[in-house]
Structure 1
Amino acid sequence: MKQQSDDAAAINDQPAWLQSYIESPEKQKALYKKTLLIVVLSQIFGGAGLAAGITVGALLARDMLGTDTVAGLPTALFTLGSAGAALVVGRLSQRYGRRAGLASGFLTGGIGAIGVIFAAVTNNIYLLFASLLIYGAGSATNLQARYAGTDLANEKQRATAISIAMVSTTFGAVAGPNLVEAMGEFALSVGVPALSGPFILAAAAYIIAGLVLLFFLRPDPFVVARAIALAERNASKAKDYIEETYSTDRRGIGVAALIMVLSQLVMVAIMTMTPVHMGHHGHGLSAVGMVIGFHIGAMYLPSLLTGVLVDKIGRKTMAIASGVTLLISGVVASIAPGESMLWITLALILLGLGWNFGLISGTALLVDATNPVNRAKMQGSIDVMVALSGATGGMLSGMVVANSSFAFLSLAGGILSLILIPFVIWANRK
């Protein structure tokens, strides 16, 4: 009763500008389109910032520590940092809106990238580790930005809205790894180590992404969506309507979380050790950058098609496709000759594609299973689990390869992804 009275009071106290959105479907549609445009702009820069740590983080740690055993530690650290940031960004978004949460996350990630640069210059491993944790905020925000487009989307638009946000990341994420060599030369020209060059790009990209959201994501789509939901709840006297609209599907949330967690775990583990594996077989930075660029392109570029497929043929069908694609990727990576750019690239493309299927289908399931009143908070909590799974994959990958081989890691990851299938089938049962 208290919650209902609080909601009613909140509705009555809405400012005039917000009330105008509640009453006008046309304004809601216009804001939905504007939100997608702003998210696209921010994600282009956010993708470039994300790519730096993926491409050279492991190589930077290996050079500073002199061993491959902890080469997966940078990925583990910035994904661990992204776990904490996902929780904070989700809570900020729930309380103050997407603008506050996403802008804060990207700006924090930019500060972390600056810290990595100083760590490389001073050869301070402790500063490197601390900065990578902070840098992880950008990764968490880059993922959470996909939710902003769904705030004002209907059920048949949700996966497509997610895919538009993700595909825009491609432009920066693919360009970032392919600028590794150029940024390395730029870094040397200004007197800093070559491997810190991509983090110069990351700092600028994350800060620009944060400023784009801070200044242009107005009105805030989540604030408007929440106000609309509360108004509909207050206006409806039908108990079944309220229960359907504001119920929480715990089974759906659990399956959505499992899909995203396993996809992230397998993808990060194999991806993290690929640059090190290539280095052992004589491939240079430009070759590593190209392979990672193709991988990141496969993570994001197919999103428009994936979003349509998720909306048309179903979330759970595409989740099963994710498990199968990740398995094939693991098998290809395990048998690929280390000297063959073609086979390594193919394995990483399939790895990115399987992750793409899993993330979009899992995200759509999560949005379906929550309601506007608790959605942002729940999204942040699930993204914490996703980030922790990535941290686990990154941390364990170096140890697994050091004690066995890259082939064993890849095959084990592919087999692990098959766990998705029985859980998805179970969730589909009434």
Structure 2
Amino acid sequence: MSGTAQTRNGPADRGDPAGRRGPAGGRPPHGVPQPIPQDPDRAAVQRRTVRVLMSAQVVGGIGMGSMLSSGSLLVGRLTGSEAAAGLATTSITLGAALLGIPLAALSRSRGRRAGLGTGWLLGAVGSLLVLAAARLGWFPLLLAGMLLIGSATAANLQARYAAADLAEDAHRARALSLVVWATTLGSVLGPNLSGPGEPVARALGEPEEAGTFVFSVGAFLIGWALIQLLLRPDPLLLAVATAPTTAARAGHPEPAAPFATRVTAALRHVRAAPEARLGLVAVVLGHAVMVSVMTMTPIHLAHDGAELKVVGFAISLHIAGMFALSPLVGRLTDRIGRVRVVLVGQVVLLAAAAVAGTAGGSRGAVVAGLFLLGLGWSCATVAGSTLLTESTAAAHRSEVQGLADTLMNLAGAGGGALAGGMVALIGYGGLNAAVVLLIVPVAVLALAPRRAD
């Protein structure tokens, strides 16, 4: 039917509210904006959008999980230094931070299909570079590949916002949380590909630790194909084209702007809306708290004599807290309000720090604290991301969301880098006490009497 009509010209699709066509009523030339359906069935398009995004998250998550399990080992092999092993995760995180805003700007000018698809495609290129570096034994090339793999992380994060582009207010958090939840399967399956990756690596003449990156290449390419072929019509372009006011559509699309200009513009839009400020601070500081504590918990457990299976169980429960319960968090966010769930998240993060920080020799308490840490992150991320999305005009959402993800990744990288030194100085309990300082600003903003939620 006309409500589900789709455009067919690939990434050049920009959406034309006026329904302009090319000469003689034919298809417009490449690069010319194409028409958005005149009477779209938004509910049907939204359902399709969420299904496609969830599918891409599952396969893309497998790609991320499969190589995260062996990236540090591969760095250790090439450098001969265990101390350098952390550079794998750090490089991926920095890559996600550096590429978050450019990918979001691409989404703004050409739609989610271009932004998300490019993120997954660059992730595949990065995985190929890692495989080449492993064969050649060239460490700088390995780091370059890891940086590009960060684009897949950025696409993974920005997909949750794409689920909210066309969502109704009453169901926006639920849609966003379903895409977050879809990451769970890949996060669980991916690390288990280390074993099958060894014979694959041997067959290709690669180090055994590099085998999982072969799976990453395939997974990222499948994610790219799903987005390119099935994410039609583009949800962001449709949201902008059908926005209820011309003000909401102002400035879309725009010529490419310098990186600093895009950052400044995104910050200006955030400053203009109290809800956006709260959403940004909640997702950034919540991520910093989570990464800081999570990074050092496996080491703390290992130093306490815990077996590897205990450490693995703790990480599994942590991932379950982050992703598996996100649909429930989304429903709660739609039911009781975004600000209240942000506050719930801060309470849960505080409880996590208290339980883990005072656990002493109790491994069960540390594991429980790590689960609560993931759940608090989920509350802050789902509710904060929903606030950020709905308090920003459709034409400017993608760059504001890209700014949020960039700051999230920078905060995570900073928190993870500082956590080791803090544990050396003040211990694991001291680290948990210190991260409470990051909870305070979010709670203050959420309790400020400036809105009725």
Cα gap change, 1:408 to 1:202, in 2 (>3 Å): farther
Cα gap change, 1:306 to 1:276, in 2 (>3 Å): same
Q: CA RMSD in A?
A: 3.2
Q: What is the correspondence of 1:87-102 to structure 2 with a 5 Å cutoff?
A: 87-102=101-116
**Residue 73 of structure 1 corresponds to which residue in structure 2?**
87
Aligned length: 408
**Residue 420 of structure 1 corresponds to which residue in structure 2?**
442
**Residue 5 of structure 1 corresponds to which residue in structure 2?**
none
Q: Distance in 2 between matches of 1:103 and 1:73?
A: 26
Residue type of the alignment partner of 1:384: T
**Residue 262 of structure 1 corresponds to which residue in structure 2?**
285
Residue from 222, 234, 237 that aligns with 2:236: 222
Q: Distance in 2 between matches of 1:293 and 1:188?
A: 29
Q: Distance in 2 between matches of 1:264 and 1:209?
A: 25
Asked if the contact 2:19/2:36 (under 8 Å) is kept, the reply is no
Asked if the contact 2:248/2:395 (under 8 Å) is kept, the reply is no
Q: What's the CA shift for 1:77? A: 1.9
Cα gap change, 1:176 to 1:280, in 2 (>3 Å): farther
Residue from 350, 366, 369 that aligns with 1:327: 350
Q: Distance in 1 between matches of 2:357 and 2:312?
A: 20
Asked if the contact 1:113/1:202 (under 8 Å) is kept, the reply is yes
Identity of aligned residues (%): 34
Task: Calculate the TM-score normalised by the size of structure 1.
Answer: 0.84
Residue from 374, 399, 410 that aligns with 1:388: 410
Q: What is the correspondence of 1:29-428 to structure 2 with a 5 Å cutoff?
A: 29-52=43-66, 54-61=68-75, 64-65=78-79, 70-183=84-197, 187=201, 191-229=205-243, 232-233=245-246, 249-280=272-303, 288-336=311-359, 340=363, 342-426=364-448, 428=450
**Residue 244 of structure 1 corresponds to which residue in structure 2?**
none
Q: Distance in 1 between matches of 2:248 and 2:77?
A: 63
> Is 1:22 aligned with 2:38?
yes
3-state SS in 1 of match to 2:394:
coil
Task: Calculate the TM-score normalised by the size of structure 2.
Answer: 0.80
Cα gap change, 1:343 to 1:56, in 2 (>3 Å): farther
Q: Distance in 2 between matches of 1:327 and 1:102?
A: 34
Asked if the contact 1:83/1:383 (under 8 Å) is kept, the reply is yes
- Structure 1 residues 213-271: Cα deviation after superposition (integer angstroms, max 9, x where no partner): 11111111111111111x643899xxxxxxxxxx9742222111100001111112222
Cα gap change, 1:125 to 1:345, in 2 (>3 Å): farther
Q: Distance in 2 between matches of 1:44 and 1:351?
A: 23
Q: Distance in 2 between matches of 1:42 and 1:332?
A: 36
Asked if the contact 1:114/1:203 (under 8 Å) is kept, the reply is yes
Q: Distance in 1 between matches of 2:304 and 2:298?
A: 10
Q: Distance in 1 between matches of 2:429 and 2:199?
A: 33
Q: Distance in 1 between matches of 2:213 and 2:308?
A: 15
Q: What's the CA shift for 1:282? A: 5.8
- Farther off after superposition, 196-205 or 100-109: 196-205
- Structure 1 residues 161-206: Cα deviation after superposition (integer angstroms, max 9, x where no partner): 1011111111111222344445456546755444434433333222
- Structure 1 residues 33-74: Cα deviation after superposition (integer angstroms, max 9, x where no partner): 111110010010122223245544445545655656555433
Asked if the contact 1:329/1:350 (under 8 Å) is kept, the reply is yes
Cα gap change, 1:215 to 1:285, in 2 (>3 Å): farther
Q: What's the CA shift for 1:32? A: 1.0
Q: What's the CA shift for 1:289? A: 4.5
Cα gap change, 1:68 to 1:204, in 2 (>3 Å): same
Q: What's the CA shift for 1:280? A: 4.4
Q: Distance in 2 between matches of 1:272 and 1:120?
A: 26
3-state SS in 2 of match to 1:374:
helix
Structure 1 gaps of 5+ residues are 1-8, 237-246
Cα gap change, 1:106 to 1:286, in 2 (>3 Å): farther
3-state SS in 1 of match to 2:170:
coil
Q: Distance in 1 between matches of 2:313 and 2:200?
A: 19
Asked if the contact 1:112/1:133 (under 8 Å) is kept, the reply is yes
- Farther off after superposition, 414-423 or 149-158: 414-423
More RCO (CA 8 Å, sep 6+): 1
Q: Distance in 2 between matches of 1:338 and 1:363?
A: 36
3-state SS in 1 of match to 2:168:
coil
Q: What's the CA shift for 1:425? A: 0.9
Asked if the contact 1:330/1:412 (under 8 Å) is kept, the reply is no
Asked if the contact 1:116/1:199 (under 8 Å) is kept, the reply is yes
Asked if the contact 2:36/2:233 (under 8 Å) is kept, the reply is no
Q: Distance in 1 between matches of 2:211 and 2:366?
A: 25
